[in-house]
Amino acid sequence: MIKNFIVPIDFSDDSLKGLELAILFSTKLYLNVQMVYVQKKTAEHFPSAVREEYNMAKEKFDKIVLDYSNRFGNNSKLRYIIKKGPKVYEEIVNQSESYKESIIAASTHGASGFEEFFIGSNAFKIISATSRPVIAIRKGLVPKYIKKIVLPIDVMPETRQKVPFTAEIAEIFGAEVHVVEINSSRSIVVNKRLASYSKQITSFLKNKNIEVVNKSIFGDNVADLTVEYANSINADLISISTEKQSSITNLIMGNYAQQVLNKATIPVLNNTPKEIQIKGTFSTFGG
């Protein structure tokens, strides 16, 4: 169950969109929302500069807590922590993994302390460095509700590990899940495996009383097809797998995930697959 929401903050308007997403989730369940700022100045700078940055961050956080706390539902709590470290993304990951379970909600745009992390391909640092789900908020756009989720599937067993967490979000919001076979291969073997996975995933979702729509799309650029399909149905979230390995249809990490993050105009849920111990099941998924 989603409980701990980690929101990296650099005090830019874009980074505050993570709070907007947390507010949306808090309309459905209790959340512990932890904002995280990582100081740019460290011991190598003058102590007075370090203190000044800390005091600046604390003052800004106190105002955010005052302005935002009453917008959260279900008695959710809004807190903050100011950390130090040479690598911002590592401190965010460490904070997230200090909880047994957590989800990170981060904008892909920003400035100041998170400029290195948020800009361009460096946004993958946090996604690649954590096993926790990361919702990347694209172009500062946060849905008012989550009604439709696009779930593209691949032919690799790992692609199915994102299903349980996606299903959890769908259950929370009563969302419709679009299971999309996006294929760039005409191989009979690939098509049969995709159809088999689609059937398994659909059965899993329907057993949870989740409404499912099945779709099969063929084309060379699977990232473009994913985003175009999401736009065509006015989806609110895209759920993808991110992993440092390729697959037959290149639907895991690599260029696919990067392109989806760069091109999507809606939030993208990034799930990092665990090592599969029992193939053909969803039992090894972890959040």
Report pLDDT digits (tens) over 88-102. Answer: 888 999 999 999 999
Give the count of domains, the chain.
2
**Boundary of a domain, candidates 119, 138, 157:** 138
Based on the fold, state whether residues 55 and 160 are members of the same structural domain.
Answer: no
In terms of Cβ atoms closer than 10 Å to its own Cβ (0-12, 13-18, 19+), residue 89 is buried
Shared-domain flag, residues 60 and 174: no
Task: Please tell me whether residues 22 and 98 are part of one structural domain.
Answer: yes
The C-alpha atoms of residue 163 and residue 13 are separated, in whole angstroms, by: 32
In a domain? residue 77: yes
Average pLDDT for 1-5: 90
Would you say residue 284 lies in a domain? no
Taking the model in full, what pTM does it have? 0.88
Domain boundary among 120, 138, 156: 138
CATH number at residue 235: 3.40.50.620
Give me the pLDDT at residue 243, please: 60
Contact present, 223 and 249 (Cβ < 8 Å):
no
Percent of the chain clearing pLDDT 70 (strictly above): 83
Residues sharing a CB contact under 8 Å with residue 99, sequence separation 6 or more, in sequence order:
3, 4, 6
Q: What is the pLDDT of residues 153-165, one digit of tens each?
A: 988 777 788 999 9
180 phi and psi, to 5 degrees? -115, 115
Residue 283 is assigned to a structural domain of this protein: no
Place of tokens 């000044």: 52
pLDDT in tens, 235-263: 999 999 886 444 444 444 456 887 888 88
Structural tokens at position 209: 């009383």
285 within some domain: no
15 plus 125 within the same structural domain: yes
| Rounded distance between C-alpha atoms, residue 61 and residue 59, angstroms | 5
Q: Based on the fold, state whether residues 185 and 124 are members of the same structural domain.
A: no
**Domain shared by 158 and 260, yes or no:** yes
> What pLDDT, on the 0 to 100 scale, is given for residue 245?
43
Rounded distance, CA 139 to CA 239, Å?
17
Residue with tokens 């659909």: 202
Q: What is the 3-state secondary structure of 248-276?
A: CCCCCCHHHHHHHHHHCCCCEEEECCCCC
Residue 224 has pLDDT above 70, yes or no: yes
- 247 is in which domain, residue-wise? 148-271
Pair (39, 117) in one structural domain? yes
282 located within any domain: no
Contacts 24+ apart (CB under 8 A), 258-262: 258/121, 258/124, 259/221, 259/223, 259/224, 260/223, 260/226, 260/227, 261/108, 261/123, 261/124, 261/136, 261/138
pLDDT (average), residues 24-40: 95
Q: Same structural domain for residues 108 and 189? A: no
What DSSP assignment string belongs to 88-99?
Answer: HHHHHHHHHTTS
**pLDDT tens for each residue of 53-72:** 999 999 999 999 999 999 99
The answer to whether position 286 is within a domain reads: no
Asked whether residue 262 is domain-assigned, the answer is: yes
Q: Is residue 280 part of a domain?
A: no
